[in-house]
C-alpha cells in the first residue's frame, strides 16, 4: 500500500505545483521535487522520506498546508516537510537562511536527508545554469553567488552537526562535493 501512498503524493505534488516554473531555466517546477524524491529513493530511503522529498516545497510555494499534508499522508511526512519549509517567505533572504541553518542543527536525521537532497538538486541546477548562462544567472536570484556559497557551506555544517563521522550519509558527501565544485 505504500506504493499507493507514493502515487497519491505524486499526483498531489503535481497538482499543487501546476503552472509553476523554475526561475532560471523555466522548466516545470515539479521537476525539482521529483528529482529530490528520486535522489532519496536511489539512496534506499523509505517511502515516507521519499514522499517528504516530493512534498518538501508544497507549503512554501503553494496553498498547501502542513495540516493538509498530515491528513493526506500522515504525521511523520508532515513533520519532515515542516522542517524543510521556511516559515515566513516575507522575511529578508539572509534572515530566512539563518533560521534554516539554525533549525537544522536539532532536526532529526530523516528531515536532514530531505533538506540535503533538496540542496543537492538546487546546487546541481545552479552549477548547470551557471555553466550555460555565466554570470547572468545571478540576476535571477535575491542573493549573490558569494551569499549562496556561504549558505550552502553553513547548511552543510548544520546537516553534519551531532552526527557520527562513521555514519555520514552518502547524500551528505554528495552535497560536500557539489559545494566544493561551486566554490
Catalytic residue among 25, 43, 61, 130: 61
Catalytic residue among 60, 95, 106, 136: 60
Dihedral, 113, 180, 178, 138 alpha carbons, nearest 10: 110
Return d(Cα 108, Cα 145) in angstroms, integer.
29
Q: Is the dihedral of CA 65, 126, 143, 176 positive or negative?
A: positive
Cβ-contact 77, 108 below 8 angstroms: no
Contact partners, residue 107, CB within 8 Å, separation at least 6: 83, 115
128 is catalytic: no
Of the candidates 10, 22, 37, which has an alpha carbon nearest to the alpha carbon of residue 125? 22
Grid cell digits, residue 72 = 493526506
Cβ-contact 61, 84 below 8 angstroms: no
60 is catalytic: yes
E strand or H helix at 170, and its extent? helix 170-182
**Residues annotated as catalytic (active site), given as ranges:** 60-61
Amino acid at each position: 500500500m505504500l506504493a499507493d501512498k507514493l502515487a497519491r503524493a505524486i499526483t498531489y505534488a503535481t497538482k499543487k505545483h501546476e503552472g509553476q516554473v523554475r526561475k532560471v531555466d523555466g522548466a516545470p517546477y515539479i521537476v525539482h521535487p521529483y528529482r529530490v524524491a528520486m535522489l532519496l529513493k536511489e539512496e534506499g530511503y523509505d517511502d515516507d522520506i521519499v514522499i517528504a522529498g516530493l512534498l518538501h516545497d508544497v507549503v512554501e510555494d503553494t496553498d498547501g498546508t502542513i495540516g493538509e499534508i498530515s491528513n493526506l499522508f500522515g504525521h511523520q511526512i508532515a513533520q519532515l516537510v515542516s522542517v524543510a519549509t521556511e516559515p515566513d517567505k516575507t522575511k529578508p533572504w539572509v534572515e530566512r537562511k539563518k533560521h534554516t541553518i539554525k533549525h537544522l542543527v536539532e532536526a532529526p536525521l530523516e528531515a536532514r536527508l530531505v533538506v540535503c537532497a533538496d540542496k543537492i538538486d538546487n546546487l546541481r541546477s545552479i552549477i548547470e545554469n551557471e555553466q550555460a548562462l555565466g554570470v547572468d544567472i545571478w540576476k535571477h536570484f535575491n542573493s549573490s553567488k558569494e551569499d549562496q556559497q556561504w549558505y550552502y557551506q553553513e547548511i552543510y555544517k548544520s546537516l553534519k552537526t551531532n552526527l557520527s563521522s562513521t555514519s555520514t550519509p552518502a547524500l551528505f558527501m554528495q552535497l560536500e562535493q557539489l559545494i566544493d565544485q561551486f566554490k
